[in-house]
Structure formats: structure tokens, C-alpha cells
Amino acid sequence: MTTLYFIRHGKTVWNDEGRFQGASGDSPLLKESMVQIELLGQHLADLDFDHAFTSPIKRAKTTAELTIKELKRPPLLTELPGLIEFGMGVWEGMAFTDVKAEWPAMYDAYRHHPEKFDSSLVQGSESFAQVEARFVKAVQAVVAEYGGPDKTLIFFSHGMVLTAGMGALLKIPLTEIRARGGLGNTSTSVLTTDDGENFAELVRNDTSYLGIKADASNTI
């Protein structure tokens, strides 16, 4: 069995300000995030990871590098483009409130009803189907190459691509992937697989090691 740990990056300035970051937008990690990432690393410190993978986007890659420093047996870290965040096109850098005002139906769809999200109405945006497909392809390729009996892998990525992508791995219908809410910054989710095709969920959105309460600014 292969065990897969999925980590959402630490909280950023734009997270705090309520802005879309997406695949091309980015902002620095907050100072408080450095402490939280250290706590994450300490929480995972005794585990043996056979390999680590990260989105190439700075906020995720920095989270990965800082986490790995805390591990007693640091694995090699490889960039994996399939882990990049949902490409939001013209929404990237915009405040949630401004997007909601200008694209009320699409904002509601993105947040609550992904099956109704029409990427053709948001210039430059990916669709949920595209995001799920590239995430699943990337993870399955990694499992095929690095997975196996008693193998443990760790992935550092982003809130919406993890929500959609893990949902796809678990074969959760698009209509239901938002039903359990979002994922917190610096959260841990854990899946397992025996064959790289069928996945089971052991843990979702664990942030207990951070000692903080979830709020809208650190959950997506």
C-alpha cells in the first residue's frame, strides 16, 4: 500500500486579504505561517517519506522546503507541475468581494456548486474537469514510479486543486466535492492506494497541530 500525504501551503498575504491567487498570482507567506510550517514539520518529523513533491509556485515550494527541514529523515524534493493551483485567469489578484460583485453566478459556482462553473465566462480560467484531470494524471504517475508496499509520499500544493484533485482520486462527484467545506492553510490530508487507481481517505484537513481555529481567511 502507498500512503500519500497532501499538504496545503502556509497562509499568504493574499489569503489574509481575501484575494484569488490561482496559478499565476502569488504573494509572500505571512510571518505567522513560518511558525505554523515549523509546527507542521514537527508533527511529521518522525515519519519516513520516500519522496516529496511540490507545486513549483513559490508559496507551496517554500512551505515544502521549510517543512522538510524539520523532518528527521528529509526526502528528496521534486517539482511537479500538475500540483499547481487552479488557474483563475482574470480573477487572479482580485478581491473575493470584487469577483462576487462582477461575476455573482460564477463566484457562487466556484465556491459552492463546481458543476455549474463555466470557465468560458472567466477569461483565462481552467475548468474543474481540466484541473482534476491534470492532478490525477500527475499523482498516478508518481504512484506508478515511486509507490509500492510500505511507501509513503508527500505532496505540497494548493487549496482548490487539492479539494478538486483529491475528490477526483476518491471518485467523489463534482456536485459533492465542496460538501465538506474547504482545506485550511498548512493542513494535512492523507490518502492510501493499493493500485494507483482506487484511493481511500484516512485524514482530511487536519490542522490540530497548529492550535488555531479555522476562519474564512485560511480556508478555501
Give domain status of residue 93, yes or no.
Answer: no
Give domain status of residue 126, yes or no.
Answer: no
Q: Which are the contacts of 139, defined by CB distance < 8 A and separation ≥ 6? A: 4, 82, 155, 165, 169
Instruction: Answer yes or no: is 103 a known binding residue.
Output: no
For the domain that residue 161 is a member of, what is the CATH number?
3.40.50.1240
| pLDDT of 96 strictly over 70 | yes
pLDDT at 215 (0 to 100): 60
Q: Cβ(149)–Cβ(194) under 8 Å? A: no
- Residues 144-180 pLDDT 10s: 999 999 999 999 999 999 999 999 999 999 999 998 8
Instruction: Answer yes or no: is 43 a known binding residue.
Output: no
| pLDDT of 219 strictly over 70 | no
Give domain status of residue 166, yes or no.
Answer: yes
Give domain status of residue 73, yes or no.
Answer: yes
Residue with cell 484511493: 199
pLDDT at 212 (0 to 100): 77
d(CA 210, CA 27): 21
Q: Cβ(16)–Cβ(38) under 8 Å? A: no
Q: Cβ(64)–Cβ(90) under 8 Å? A: no
Instruction: Answer yes or no: is 178 a known binding residue.
Output: no
Please tell me the pTM assigned to this model. 0.95
Instruction: Answer yes or no: is 12 a known binding residue.
Output: yes
Instruction: Answer yes or no: is 131 a known binding residue.
Output: no
Give domain status of residue 101, yes or no.
Answer: no
Give domain status of residue 182, yes or no.
Answer: yes
Nearest to 136 by CA among 113, 95, 164, 157: 164
Instruction: Answer yes or no: is 8 a known binding residue.
Output: yes
199: amino acid identity, one letter: F
Return the minimum-mean-pLDDT range out of 31-40, 68-77, 114-123, 173-182: 173-182
How does the average pLDDT of the chain come out, rounded?
A: 95
As for how many domains the chain has, the answer is: 1
Domain of 30 in residue numbering reads as 2-87+133-206
- Residues 19-67 pLDDT 10s: 999 999 999 999 999 999 999 999 999 999 999 999 999 999 999 999 9
Give domain status of residue 217, yes or no.
Answer: no
Give domain status of residue 97, yes or no.
Answer: no
Instruction: Decide the pairing of beta strands 77-79 and 2-8.
Output: unpaired
What's CA 30's distance to the chain center, in Å? Answer: 18
Q: Which are the contacts of 109, defined by CB distance < 8 A and separation ≥ 6? A: 115, 116, 117, 118
Three-state DSSP class for residue 75:
coil
pLDDT at 211 (0 to 100): 86
